[in-house]
Amino acid sequence: MFISGCSTPAHYVDSKGTGTIVSLNKINIQDFYQAADDMVADILTSGVLDRAPSQPAIMAISSFKNATTNNFEMSLLTKKVSTALLRTGKVVTLSDDALAASQNEKDIFMGKTAATRSEPYYTLSGKIIEDKANAGSLKQTSYIFQLTLTTVKDRLGVWEGEKTITKQGKQSSVGW
Amino acid sequence: MKNKIAKPALATAALGALLLATGCATSVNTYQRAQSQATVNYIDDQRLVTDTTLARALAVRSLNEARPGGLLQVQATIENLKTSAKTLHYKFEWIAQNGMVAGDTGWRTLFLQGRETSAISALATSPSAVDFRLSFKE
């Protein structure tokens, strides 16, 4: 009775809300949302996507490096960025769908479609770094999200963005 | 004898007053150009206050908008009316022409020092967004 009375029953929380867990040793779901949102806003306000010769510009997701001690699926970041950019209508993403690729090759072989391939105008690459510090029992962890938008034709970085999320405390907590 | 006791007591009181006046203060002094060079598109706003304590601690000084690449961008200039530091949460919701909500930023954290004025902004990634709703909570 005493044990169950004090426990928190499982319940749903808003994934982007203030009731989510804040961890000092991992990137939380709200961190991915915030980093993606801020960098998407930065890309869009820079106007770089509006300078592509054809609209919408084709963008491919390139390599992303996880330089943190966390193990996570990188699409937690890349999918949020590509989804938001796609929604603006300013870019289309080069899909890595295997079925679409094989069907396209079959259609080309059968002469149903011209042998033209969509080539990306932009590639998006990135890296996530972590920085840890502590003062006594007080811990601080920063996660630095870095993105680079490159034009394929000349391999020039036309936009770069960095977003740092810093968390501090003695232990992880529920809510922020 | 009376004076010998009173002097250290006065000194301690004066030091305490000085610490209260300076050491513990987190208030921010702000300076800016007298005649702004920016061309700002201010927005007339409508306010619904349900937390009067928060409304007394936080002032939304102005709201302005821009349209980079045809997308709605809104900025709010916020002032902490208290002399102590404050942590707040805010969220922008985007509203389409037909009145439907077309996405939101999720809750974000805002740190303000005492009497600090700061700006928060967000960009709607949906081209259909024409309006917004900005919410604050402690």
Task: Give me chain B's average pLDDT, please.
Answer: 86
Of B68, B69, B89, the CB nearest to A18: B89
Give the list of residues 6+ apart from residue B77 with CB closer than 8 angstroms, or none: B60, B61, B62, B63, B64, B117, B118, B119
pLDDT confidence bin for B27, thresholds 50/70/90:
confident
Judged by CB atoms closer than 8 Å, whether chains meet at B106 and A44 is answered as no
Instruction: Give pLDDT, residue A115.
Output: 66
- The pLDDT-based confidence of B11 (bands split at 50, 70, 90) is low
CA distances from B110 to A165, B114, B117 (A): 13, 13, 11
Is 90 exceeded by the pLDDT of residue B1? no
pLDDT of residue A61: 96
Q: What's the confidence (pLDDT) of residue A67?
A: 97
> DSSP character for A153?
T
pLDDT for position A101: 83
| Mean pLDDT, chain A cut into blocks of 10 residues (176 residues total) | 67 93 96 96 95 94 96 96 95 88 85 79 97 96 98 96 97 92
Residue A109 contacts B, CB cutoff 8 Å: no
Evaluate if residue B21 carries a pLDDT over 60: no
Chain B residues in contact with A45 (beta carbon < 8 A) = 68-69, 73, 123
What percent of chain A has a predicted confidence (pLDDT) above 90?
80
A52 contacts on B by Cβ (under 8 Å) = none
The answer to whether the CB atoms of A44 and B71 lie below 8 A apart is yes
Whether residue B60 is predicted with pLDDT greater than 90 in this model: the reply is yes
Give pLDDT, residue A96. Answer: 81
Q: In which band, very low, low, confident or very high, does the pLDDT at B51 lie, cut at 50, 70 and 90?
A: very high
- For chain B, which domains are there? 52-137 (2.60.40.3230)
A49 and B125 within 8 Å at the Cβ level: the answer is: no
Cis peptide before A120 (omega within 30 of 0): no
Q: Which of A15, A50, A88 sits opposite B125 (nearest CB)?
A: A88
Q: pLDDT grade, residue B10 (50/70/90)?
A: low
- Test B89 with A30 for CB contact under 8 angstroms: no
pLDDT at B67 > cutoff 70: yes
b/e B89-119 (16+ beta carbons within 10 angstroms → b): bbbbbbbbeeeeebbbbbbbebebbebbeee
Tokens 């699409």: give the residue: A75
pLDDT at residue B75, rounded to an integer: 98
Cβ distance B69 to A90 less than 8 Å, yes or no, reads yes
| Angstroms from B52 CA to nearest CA on chain A | 21
Q: What is the pLDDT of residues A147-165, one digit of tens each?
A: 999 999 999 999 999 999 9
- Total count of residues recorded for chain A: 176
- Complex-level ipTM: 0.84
Fold for the domain defined by A27-125+146-160: Rossmann fold (3.40.50)
Predicted local distance difference test score (pLDDT) of residue A110? 86
